[in-house]
Structure 1
Amino acid sequence: MKLRFIARMPNGPGALHRAADIIHKYEGNISRIHYDDRIDPHTAFFEITVHGQEAVENIRSELHRIGYLQESLEPIGFLKFNIFLPNRPGALVEFLNHTTSSKANIAFLDFDEKGKHPDRVTVALTIENSKVIDRLLNDLKNHYRIEILEYDPRGKQLDNTVFYLKFAQELREIIGEAEDTFLLKLIYDINHIVQELTNLRQDPHKVFDSILATGRSLRDTTGAGFYADVQRIQLLDDVQLFCFQLPCGGNIFIINAGDEMAMIDTGFGIYHPDVTTMLQRYGLGDLSKLKHIYITHADADHSGAGGFFSAPSHMHQGSSEVIDRTNRAYGSKIESSILEEVYTKLITLFSNFTPPTRREIFPTQVLDLQNIFPVIQRFSVGPLEFEVLESLGGHTFGHVFYLCRKHGLLFTGDSLINFDSFTEKRKKYATLATILMTSVNVDSDTARKERMALLEIAKEVDKELRPSGRRCLICGGHGAISSLTEDGSALVVPAEYPIEHYTHNS
């Protein structure tokens, strides 16, 4: 049986040894341990293999008895004050009796009888149960003159001696109140990727900062903070294409063909209320016209709002399996990567991932080939006829592309993107996933091959359309709708399809 736990223990000689002795006593085998005093000198993470439930309970019981087993994440309060003690033997001991009975830890103590204030002691305390702070203060005020210097019941000013407790409180501010059991499991998983990335010479604090920045960026770009960059393209007299670039990535495309609408990718679930308002502002609010949703791949910023719509979502079987397993590396050669698995859990949590429940799975029979990509399905949106191209799995397993050759539309998901069209905010957000996973592609070599093949397809379509004065429009999963430069080596935003900025107040 596997037992995973977080140990909170003294920062002194033999502390880790004591935990290891208990594990050894019950024939446990340590398969993972991580302790780094640069992060938190009191916290270690263990994964052990044991024989039977009895051994699990015995280990947990003994760790609990010595106070090592971290089972809660109560906010730690911080209190700094001056206290004036009588000048007599034993005065300091009497004062310390009050702090000890409250289970307060002394973080700072300053007293010098030869100084300017021979009766004054400056004290800083940390208290794991913040409810005790008020009781302790009332107790001290009944016995001593006291001056409060700092009072922080939520522990925001604490140093890194309680880093993981501070980090838990910062996570709560992003995701809302959560059970301690849930947060402890989440912090255990986060520590695992910190361990992996530290071994790859990544600064651990940069990893923690990137996790918090991801959650805060999503939270802060909803409601009044929501915005989008929008392109509107008149494809035919009665057919319009809309591209909505959401704040933290994941474009939504709407094809409006009169009585019928189709959506390609849904954006993050957390943006759904804002997206609904935005669609109404652009005359697309009648969702009864939305007949079909087409998903390029399973990442949360492309499929994470599908469950909010009544229209069925069409996707590859691989994408459906990635969603169900909550692991974006599923089906790839790095399926066992802890980085990919934990990142998927984090982004699922932060983004209110609400994946499609009405799923229509593309068939697997190969109908044709477009360059290196099998064509596995064909569908129409109004007069537009599309082919579904199956990727080779460079970005994620189950990724597909949508090609409307006659009208020059190529929806490439995250396999071909105009990065130069990103705003600085979007560039900054995009780097966070790279920090936490080292790469957003599950197979970088295959992803490069796919990108070149997609460019070749775009060049072919461009060549076919140029006599009629039209171009192939590359609709990437992020950034602006773009076309090829004259030499076909790069992507640019066509001048005839300008980008307009949307906010709820604009």
Structure 2
Amino acid sequence: MSQKFYFVARMPDEPGALHRAAEIVRRFQGNINRIHYDRRIDPNTVFFEVTLANREAYEKVKQGLKALGYLQETLEPIGFLKFNVYLPHKPGALFEFLNYITEARANIAFLDFDDQGPHPDRLTVSLTVEKSALIDKLLNRLKSRYRLEILDYDTRGDYLDNTVFYLRFAQRLREIIGEAEDEFLLRLLADINHIVQELTNLRQDPHEVFRCIIETGQRLKETTGPNFYVDVQKFSFDGFELFCFQLPYGGNVFLLSSADETIMIDTGFGLYHEDLLRVFQHYGLGDLNRLSKIFITHADADHAGAAGFFNVPAYLHKGTKEIIQKANRAYGSRVEGSILEEVYTKLINLFSRFTPPEKVELFPQEVLGLREIFPVIMRFNFAGYEFEVLESLGGHLYGQVFFFCEKAGLLFTGDSLLNLKSFTPERLEFAKLAKILMTSVNVDSEIATKERLALLKLAEQTDAKLKIQGRRCLICGGHGAVSVLKSGELEATGKIEHFGFN
């Protein structure tokens, strides 16, 4: 049975290079399913996905590319060196100097010399060296022969030009996710290149795509530890308290705490877990030793990503379990084949330390009734209140559910109904990054609109009943502030306390 394999090739920017690589694939009866090369990004790197008969054929193609010097198997940090060198004004001086550069296997990125200029004996040189250890050796040899002035010396890759764009990008990924094997990073680069190809075809600037990927990872990493903060709302009911914790980025975490037990609705990103535990301590919730259950609205990493850190059952829809297993948020939807959704899922799971639940309890599939357009698939009790689990129609994500308690006037809407006006500018910018990388955060925008209108109608009907008692229906969105309806719009309600460790 044929298999699909990927290759990352680093080729000379010269006529016939790509043709030679394609000939090797043809020689072993390979079929190229995808190829992407864009000199605007990196003039030397080409990505292939190839269908081959078996792994033996794959190894032969690898060896063929390796023999040409094309196969990229490592991502060793690239060094950058910029300096002035003063050459004797005689025939062959430049040739002799370039011998040292060639022996060090350095690539020249920039040369500047003019014997009619103000410095007729000075040559300005920029080099990239694939083995950073060779930079010191090269410098020692040059210093013994020439007068040098070092302008820039960088072994991290901050000054590298686009001739080694993907290597530089891999180094920036390493800074976000920590040390990773080259094989893993090359596979990740191939996936990232695939969404760049898709979005470029949709007229998206490829460099904007790379920026969004790095910024997503950096923003998450930079808001942990001493830079972590939350916006907190607290509401009291007869028999329990409700806490809403808006994390720096991603989804909200809700805790419902009674004298007997605590339940959690959604968990936030996994990398915020330790910081969030400190916040719980501050608000008198202790180490959550009374936490009995976690209820998850949907499979996105900012809602389910920390569930595995808790030793309690996580209740979720079978669709949520399947999306987590497939690592593809488009699974079960009409856009299931979308490479944008699939690769975004991999990236955000990686950046956010996605830790799926180990103890899983699935919501039943039997329909107990309807609440508006949503099937009621389960009921559970907490602190003497009955909550309904409402199955979504799959507009935002297959398997998303909502939680509704008519008596308390609580409606947990996941990502189908949000108070965007309550987002801080930083949270709004972070949310836009996902939209750029996927074009839409909803897998079916038409159904998502239908669901939003139905949730608003349910909240409005509940509100009308509660107003007689002097109470309101609290809309607990997956992001943003807990809100109430005002003239058909969501308006933040109650006190919002900002808490941070700085």
**TM superposition score normalised by structure 1:** 0.97
Q: Secondary structure at the match of 2:128?
A: strand
Q: Secondary structure at the match of 1:379?
A: strand
1:107 aligns with 2:109: yes
- Deviation at residue 319 of structure 1 after TM alignment: 0.6
- Deviation at residue 114 of structure 1 after TM alignment: 3.7
- Deviation at residue 417 of structure 1 after TM alignment: 0.8
Task: Find the counterpart in structure 1 of residue 330 from structure 2.
Answer: 329
Task: Find the counterpart in structure 2 of residue 357 from structure 1.
Answer: 358
- Deviation at residue 209 of structure 1 after TM alignment: 0.5
Task: Find the counterpart in structure 1 of residue 248 from structure 2.
Answer: 247
Task: Find the counterpart in structure 1 of residue 188 from structure 2.
Answer: 186
Kindly report which structure 2 residues correspond to 1:275-290, keeping only aligned pairs within 5 A, or say none: 275-290=276-291
Rounded Cα–Cα distance in structure 2 between residues aligned with 1:289 and 1:59? 58
Task: Find the counterpart in structure 1 of residue 490 from structure 2.
Answer: 491
- Deviation at residue 204 of structure 1 after TM alignment: 0.7
Task: Find the counterpart in structure 1 of residue 441 from structure 2.
Answer: 440
1:44 to 30, 46, 50: 46
Deviates more, 1:296-305 or 1:141-150: 141-150
Q: Compute the RMSD of aligned alpha carbons.
A: 1.3
Rounded Cα–Cα distance in structure 2 between residues aligned with 1:100 and 1:226? 49
- Deviation at residue 117 of structure 1 after TM alignment: 3.4
Rounded Cα–Cα distance in structure 2 between residues aligned with 1:43 and 1:218? 29
Kindly report which structure 2 residues correspond to 1:70-149, keeping only aligned pairs within 5 A, or say none: 70-149=72-151
2:497 to 485, 496, 500: 500
Task: Find the counterpart in structure 2 of residue 169 from structure 1.
Answer: 171
Rounded Cα–Cα distance in structure 2 between residues aligned with 1:19 and 1:286? 58
* 1:232–1:240 CA contact under 8 A, matched in 2: yes
- Deviation at residue 76 of structure 1 after TM alignment: 1.3
Deviates more, 1:459-468 or 1:431-440: 459-468
Task: Find the counterpart in structure 1 of residue 316 from structure 2.
Answer: 315
- Deviation at residue 122 of structure 1 after TM alignment: 2.0
Change (3 A) 1:457 1:115: closer
Rounded Cα–Cα distance in structure 2 between residues aligned with 1:233 and 1:423? 21
Letter matched to residue 163 of structure 1? F
Write the deviation string for residues 328-384 of structure 1: whole angstroms up to 9, x where unpaired: 111111111100100000000000101111111111111111011111111111122
Letter matched to residue 462 of structure 1? D
Q: Secondary structure at the match of 1:446?
A: helix
Rounded Cα–Cα distance in structure 2 between residues aligned with 1:113 and 1:472? 80
Rounded Cα–Cα distance in structure 1 between residues aligned with 2:250 and 2:26? 48
- Deviation at residue 476 of structure 1 after TM alignment: 0.4
Task: Find the counterpart in structure 1 of residue 303 from structure 2.
Answer: 302
Q: Secondary structure at the match of 1:21?
A: helix
* 1:395–1:443 CA contact under 8 A, matched in 2: yes
Letter matched to residue 213 of structure 2? I
* 2:277–2:287 CA contact under 8 A, matched in 1: no
Structure 1, gaps ≥5 residues long: none
* 1:367–1:376 CA contact under 8 A, matched in 2: yes
Task: Find the counterpart in structure 1 of residue 15 from structure 2.
Answer: 13
* 1:278–1:504 CA contact under 8 A, matched in 2: no
Q: Secondary structure at the match of 1:288?
A: coil
Deviates more, 1:262-271 or 1:47-56: 47-56
Task: Find the counterpart in structure 2 of residue 370 from structure 1.
Answer: 371
- Deviation at residue 96 of structure 1 after TM alignment: 1.5
Q: Secondary structure at the match of 2:198?
A: helix
Deviates more, 1:254-263 or 1:144-153: 144-153
Rounded Cα–Cα distance in structure 2 between residues aligned with 1:177 and 1:53? 28
Kindly report which structure 2 residues correspond to 1:176-255, keeping only aligned pairs within 5 A, or say none: 176-236=178-238, 238-255=239-256
Q: Secondary structure at the match of 2:160?
A: coil
Task: Find the counterpart in structure 1 of residue 386 from structure 2.
Answer: 385
Q: Secondary structure at the match of 1:389?
A: strand
Task: Find the counterpart in structure 2 of residue 479 from structure 1.
Answer: 480
Task: Find the counterpart in structure 2 of residue 346 from structure 1.
Answer: 347
Change (3 A) 1:209 1:410: same
- Deviation at residue 84 of structure 1 after TM alignment: 2.4
* 2:82–2:152 CA contact under 8 A, matched in 1: yes
Rounded Cα–Cα distance in structure 2 between residues aligned with 1:18 and 1:310? 55
- Deviation at residue 469 of structure 1 after TM alignment: 0.8
Task: Find the counterpart in structure 2 of residue 266 from structure 1.
Answer: 267
Deviates more, 1:306-315 or 1:81-90: 81-90
Letter matched to residue 165 of structure 1? L
Letter matched to residue 460 of structure 1? Q
Letter matched to residue 495 of structure 2? P
2:71 to 51, 63, 69: 69
- Deviation at residue 120 of structure 1 after TM alignment: 2.7
* 1:130–1:154 CA contact under 8 A, matched in 2: no
Structure 2, gaps ≥5 residues long: none
**TM superposition score normalised by structure 2:** 0.97
- Deviation at residue 181 of structure 1 after TM alignment: 0.8
* 1:326–1:344 CA contact under 8 A, matched in 2: yes
User: Across the two proteins, how many residue pairs are aligned to each other?
Assistant: 500
Rounded Cα–Cα distance in structure 1 between residues aligned with 2:121 and 2:36? 45
* 1:85–1:144 CA contact under 8 A, matched in 2: yes
Letter matched to residue 468 of structure 2? P
Letter matched to residue 133 of structure 1? I
Q: Secondary structure at the match of 1:468?
A: coil
Q: Secondary structure at the match of 1:452?
A: helix
* 1:75–1:129 CA contact under 8 A, matched in 2: yes
Rounded Cα–Cα distance in structure 2 between residues aligned with 1:140 and 1:178? 34
* 2:255–2:263 CA contact under 8 A, matched in 1: yes
Rounded Cα–Cα distance in structure 2 between residues aligned with 1:432 and 1:116? 48
- Deviation at residue 52 of structure 1 after TM alignment: 3.0
* 1:103–1:127 CA contact under 8 A, matched in 2: yes
Deviates more, 1:103-112 or 1:369-378: 103-112
